[in-house]
């Protein structure tokens, strides 16, 4: 019999955790949002409120539905509040030791049936699952930023993930109006493994003076029908994150085809990280 999922725990009230909490609450799940820092929780709840407010303003949601969604999110710093959750999605810092500690905390308070999902972008799910006493319940749910807008959730099977847990998570993704696609645990999974080396190669074109940044971008828009050029996309993602993904691929596969562009490293060393620093391959003047 398919398992019933009603209550979702989300750990980490940062960029991704708040988006994930919103996506579940807007689809009638009761959500417990947990962070270690009260200011992060306050900021996270305010972010969800603003995001729902924008949907109401654009007539994508009624005020009543928005109020009800917000009321379904209980924000807490207490790990014990996650005890009755059927699924817990962690979206804490991208550090293995922090994720390992979160799993250990959850194992103290949740029953053996609770599914533990990780939103990691680059850490091996198999390695995360190996820290659990019930590794078959551990799986990757890789949401994309901004979560309320993006359709895909990459569902990543650790070597240990059970078929039943994978099927339950795929079905769960459908209930929040998103599309699940399953992949095996592998460096960069699928989207980052394909997308980020393309951005890196666009950076190499600039590094080798093949073309100017604006021309590289317009060529990919005009010739490959990309909605945004790869360098603008790199600036949007953050060049430090682009470098981090390239390093994960390069070191993980031990393959020179994933070598980070020297110019990418220099941009990061210079603090030219893209939109978030006001300058990357293009300039982003601060809004007054
Ligand atoms: P973030 O820095 O915005 O938020 C992390 C939050 O986790 C912070 O509020 C912090 O207080 C909290 N936290 C840290 N340790 C904790 C603990 N032990 N228990 C509870 N809360 C804790 O990070 P983010 O950008 O939301 O990324 C979170 C995860 O999602 C990472 O694994 C990242 O790789 C992944 N991810 C990020 C993106 C993105 O575009 N930002 C996209 C996909 C996946």
Whether 121 is catalytic is: yes
Distances (CA, A) of 229 to 112, 199, 235: 46, 9, 10
- Half-sphere exposure of residue 24, counting CA atoms within 13 Å on the CB side? 27
Segment 205-225 mean pLDDT: 98
Q: What is the reported pLDDT for 3?
A: 84
Whether 192 is catalytic is: yes
Tens-place pLDDT, residues 145-180:
999 999 999 999 999 999 999 999 999 999 999 999
Catalytic residue (choose from 51, 118, 121, 132): 121
Residue ID of nearest Cα to ligand 1 atom 14: 92
In this prediction, residue 29 has a pLDDT band, given cuts at 50, 70 and 90, of very high
Sign of the dihedral through C-alpha 169, 165, 143, 33: positive
Q: What is the reported pLDDT for 1?
A: 67
Whether 209 is catalytic is: no
Residue 3 carries which DSSP code?
P
- Half-sphere exposure of residue 188, counting CA atoms within 13 Å on the CB side? 22
| Neighbouring residues of 217: CB distance < 8 A, sequence distance ≥ 6 | 202, 228, 229, 230, 231, 232
Probe target for ligand 1 pocket from 11, 13, 14, with the most ligand atoms within 8 Å of CB: 14
Ligand 1, CB within 6 Å, residue ranges: 11-17, 34-37, 40, 91-94, 98, 101-102, 119-121, 143, 145
Q: Which atom of ligand 1 is nearest to the CA of 118?
A: 32
Segment 90-118 mean pLDDT: 96
In this prediction, residue 199 has a pLDDT band, given cuts at 50, 70 and 90, of very high
**Interval between CA 211 and ligand 1 midpoint (Å):** 36
Is residue 145 within 8 Å of residue 173, measured between CB atoms? no
Segment 74-100 mean pLDDT: 97
The size of the chain, in residues, is 288
| Mean predicted lDDT score pLDDT of the chain | 96
- Asked if pLDDT for residue 230 goes beyond 70, the answer is yes
**Interval between CA 65 and ligand 1 midpoint (Å):** 27
**Interval between CA 164 and ligand 1 midpoint (Å):** 27
Segment 199-204 mean pLDDT: 98
Catalytic residue (choose from 119, 122, 132, 192): 192
25 φ, ψ to 5°? -65, -35
Domains and CATH numbers, the chain: 7-184 (3.40.50.720), 193-276 (1.10.1040.10)
Determine how many CB atoms are found less than 10 A away from the CB of residue 60: 12
Place of tokens 């210079």: 270
- Left, alpha or beta for 56 (phi > 0: left; psi -120 to 50: alpha)? alpha
What are the tokens at 202?
A: 């666009």
Tens-place pLDDT, residues 123-151:
999 999 999 999 999 999 999 999 999 99
Probe target for ligand 1 pocket from 11, 22, 93, with the most ligand atoms within 8 Å of CB: 93
DSSP string, 184-214: ES-TTTTHHHHHHHHHHHHHHHHHTTSS-HH
Place of tokens 């749910």: 141
Determine how many CB atoms are found less than 10 A away from the CB of residue 124: 19
Helix (H) or strand (E) run with residue 4 in it? none
Note the helical H segments in the chain. Answer: 15-25, 38-57, 63-71, 96-109, 125-129, 163-175, 191-207, 213-224, 230-237, 239-253, 262-269
Q: Which atom of ligand 1 is nearest to the CA of 34?
A: 20
In this prediction, residue 288 has a pLDDT band, given cuts at 50, 70 and 90, of low
Whether 142 is catalytic is: yes
């Amino acid at each position: 019999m398919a398992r019933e999922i009603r209550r979702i725990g989300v750990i980490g009230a940062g960029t991704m955790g708040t988006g994930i909490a919103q996506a579940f609450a807007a689809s009638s799940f009761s959500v417990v949002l947990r962070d270690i820092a009260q200011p992060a929780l306050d900021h996270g709840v305010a972010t969800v409120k603003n995001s729902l407010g924008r949907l109401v303003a654009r007539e994508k949601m009624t005020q009543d539905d928005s109020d009800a969604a917000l009321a379904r999110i209980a924000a807490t710093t207490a790990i014990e509040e996650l005890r009755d959750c059927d699924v817990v999605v962690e979206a804490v810092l991208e550090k293995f030791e922090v994720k390992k500690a979160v799993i250990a905390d959850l194992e103290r308070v949740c029953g053996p049936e609770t599914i533990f999902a990780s939103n990691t972008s680059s850490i091996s799910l198999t390695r995360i699952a190996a820290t659990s006493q019930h590794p078959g319940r551990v799986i990757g749910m890789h949401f994309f930023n901004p979560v309320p807008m993006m359709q895909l959730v990459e569902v990543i099977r650790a070597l240990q993930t059970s078929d039943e847990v994978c099927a339950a998570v795929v079905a769960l993704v459908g209930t929040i109006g998103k599309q699940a696609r399953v992949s095996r645990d592998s460096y960069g999974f699928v989207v980052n493994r394909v997308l980020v080396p393309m951005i890196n190669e666009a950076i190499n074109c600039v590094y080798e003076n093949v073309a100017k940044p604006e021309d590289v971008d317009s060529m990919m828009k005009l010739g490959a029908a990309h909605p945004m050029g790869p360098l603008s996309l790199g600036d949007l993602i953050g060049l430090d994150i682009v470098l981090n993904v390239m390093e994960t691929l390069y070191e993980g596969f031990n393959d020179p085809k994933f070598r980070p562009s020297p110019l990418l490293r220099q941009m990061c060393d210079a603090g030219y990280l893209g939109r978030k620093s006001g300058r990357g391959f293009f300039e982003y003047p601060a809004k007054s």
